[in-house]
Structure 1
Amino acid sequence: MASETNHKFLSKPLTVGIVGAAFSGGQPRGGVEQGPARLVEFGLIDQLKGLGWNVDFDEKFPTYEDFKPQTENKHKILKNVGHVASVTKSVAESVQKVVEKGHLALTLGGDHSLAMGTVGGSAAVHKDVGVIWVDAHADINTPLTTDTGNLHGCPVSFLMGLEGTKEVTELDWLKPCLAANRIVYIGLRDVDAPEKKILKDNKIKAFSMHDVDKHGIGKIVEMALEYLGRDKPIHLSFDVDALDPSVAPATGTPVRGGLTFREGHYICEALYETGNLVAVDIMEVNPMLGEQSYVLQTIQIGCSLARTAMGESLL
């Protein structure tokens, strides 16, 4: 059973609504769309039920092929904008429905462009939601700064409505819903130069791996919670590439020097203990990358992060 905590924003009986977001269009590497199904195949649903949660899940993983426009409008560099826009809008609607019921929204990705939908959905219900973004990357490039045009590197800029985002009319459905003081990053270590400037100019709270090494993960999480407010709803968006590649190797953009197994799980444990979680994303598990042992290891990690964010404890 899950450890006891006072859930401030969830109704009883505790229910998790699972959104299976089998989508890879925000980045170029195939396979990440298989992540949700593989997490479920590994037994995640029964694991969550074993923790005492009711699970609302239709066991469907839409491929989102029907969401692909016949022709994509030309943007200077951005790729698959129409497809990403229609998919993230659908995901936002799904997450919003879950959160409106007082259920915890657990989104299984899929690439991290989906967070435009997941955070958009939770923010539609909780205007003051605080986002804890656990990632090796800041994902805050704008249409004006991105070198690759891959939208999984841009979701935060669209959530905040930064310069250049309004011109991307396909994403008009997503109104700015995340203020600069409502997000905290943990685990950063591969941040583009323009992103560093954006973080500094907007005074965004960001803890790099240097900060984790210096202060320890316990202190980092304490500072994050103090900053966002201890009585505010929390959305945890966890990209598994925040973890060191030795821990979670099967992911599209691994970066050495990441969070340890325990550091990643401590974040989830500590956020569960607050009783403030309203939404959790597990993103960028890619079963097509690496040896099968590495794939299985990463799937196991994805499941254990979800379980820990929902109350699994060591004692």
Structure 2
Amino acid sequence: MNQNISMVGVPMDLGQNRRGVDMGPSAIRYAGVIERLEALGYRVEDKGDIAIEKKDAVKASPKNLSNLYAVTKANEKLAETVASIYEKNAFPLVIGGDHSIAIGTIAGASGYFENLGVIWYDAHGDLNTAQTSPSGNIHGMPLAVSLGMGHPSLTNIQTSKPKIKPENVVIIGARELDAGEKDYIRQSKMPVYTMHEVDRLGMSEVMRRAITYLEDKCDGVHLSLDLDGLDPHDAPGVGTPVIGGLSYRESHLAMEMLAESDFITSCEFVEVNPILDEKNRTAEAAVALMGSLFGEKLK
């Protein structure tokens, strides 16, 4: 993995409706992310935080797209920042913030790869659009947007073309999918490893299959890790917890196997909400998982 890491925080809380996730980047920094990665031999540049505008107030958001304009502006800035990180031959590490920021991360990364793959580590599919979303919250739409589905303000960031292909996406840990998301998954035949598959196959086999599936067809792979992919027992500080999730140990195994694969070219860790957390446990879990992803070993 690239020894030069550029980290950028995105204190976004406008993609959903629970306050506090904008403090996620600060909580992750407080949990010692820079020190942990530097101890592994990486050179870490902290580029600070993307400036986030206020909620859409003057110009009303389109129906079922809360704060569309502010979310778009933040993701445009993030996409430009991620692109600039690649131009400097560094590894983009993005910390959030709600999951709507994946729109910008993937948009910025997609210009540097012919076939960008994505591992979506999440309790949710985030494949909704304004037409299918039960809430209108954009943090439930970033994967759909990256696939070219959604409002043009979002899908046209960096380029009007889809940033990724459905056959280059693997979802891991899903256990709460909306009706429209299920329809899309069936139609596209996107590989999805729900908790049913994780329980039946085991995390080692799930990750082996995901890595084998992507490594032959993708020239870069982005990891988008939502902390609500973990069970609330291990990551209580998230806005949309879903019981029955991936364990702390399973998640470390997943990150260790991705480190061994050596094909992750960018990543983001999102949805850390200190207000809902217990003594910063969720941010500390995020940092520990980053350690495993970047090669930390017990011996």
TM, length-normalised to structure 2: 0.94
Amino acid at match of 1:203: K
- Secondary structure (helix, strand or coil) at the match of 1:125 reads coil
- Is the CA contact (8 Å cut-off) linking 2:51 and 2:74 kept in structure 1? no
CA displacement at 1:232 relative to structure 2:
3.0
**Contact 1:141/1:194 (8 A) holds in 2:** yes
SS at match of 1:130: strand
Tell whether 2:97 aligns with 1:110: yes
Q: State the alpha-carbon separation in 2 of the partners of residues 246 and 161 from structure 1.
A: 35
Residue 18 of structure 2 corresponds to which residue in structure 1?
A: 29
What stretches of structure 1 move > 4 A for 4+ residues in a row? none
Q: Distance in 2 between matches of 1:304 and 1:77?
A: 36
Match of 1:194 among 171, 176, 180: 180
Deviation at 1:73, TM superposition (A): 3.9
Contact 2:118 2:222 in 1 (8 A): yes
Match of 2:297 in 1: 313
What pairs with 1:1-315 in structure 2 (closer than 5 Å)?
7=1, 10=2, 14-58=3-47, 60-65=48-53, 71-162=58-149, 165=150, 167-169=151-153, 171-173=155-157, 175=160, 176-230=162-216, 232-290=219-277, 294-315=278-299
Gap regions ≥5 residues in structure 1: 1-6
Alignment correspondent of 1:4: none
Cα 1:74–1:285 shift into 2, 3 Å: closer
User: Residue in 2 aligned with 1:3?
Assistant: none
- Does the CA contact (< 8 Å) of 2:27 and 2:280 recur in 1? no
Indicate conservation of the 8 Å contact 2:107/2:157, yes or no.
no
Distance, in Å, in 2 between the alignment partners of 1:133 and 1:154 is: 13
Q: Which residue identity is paired with 1:36?
A: P
1:274-307 alpha-carbon deviations (Å, 9 max, x no partner)? 11111111100000114xxx24211110111111
**Using the alignment, how far apart are the partners of 2:87 and 2:116 within structure 1?**
13
Unaligned runs of 5+ in 2: none
Identity of aligned residues (%): 35
CA deviation vs aligned residue, 1:16-74 (integer Å, no higher than 9, x gap): 1101111111001111010111111222111111110001113x2244137x6662344
| Count of aligned pairs | 296
What residue identity is the alignment partner of 1:49?
E
CA separation in 2, counterparts of 1:232 and 1:273?
16
1:119 deviation in Å?
1.0
Asked whether the equivalents of residues 50 and 78 of structure 2 are also in contact (C-alpha less than 8 Å), the reply is: no
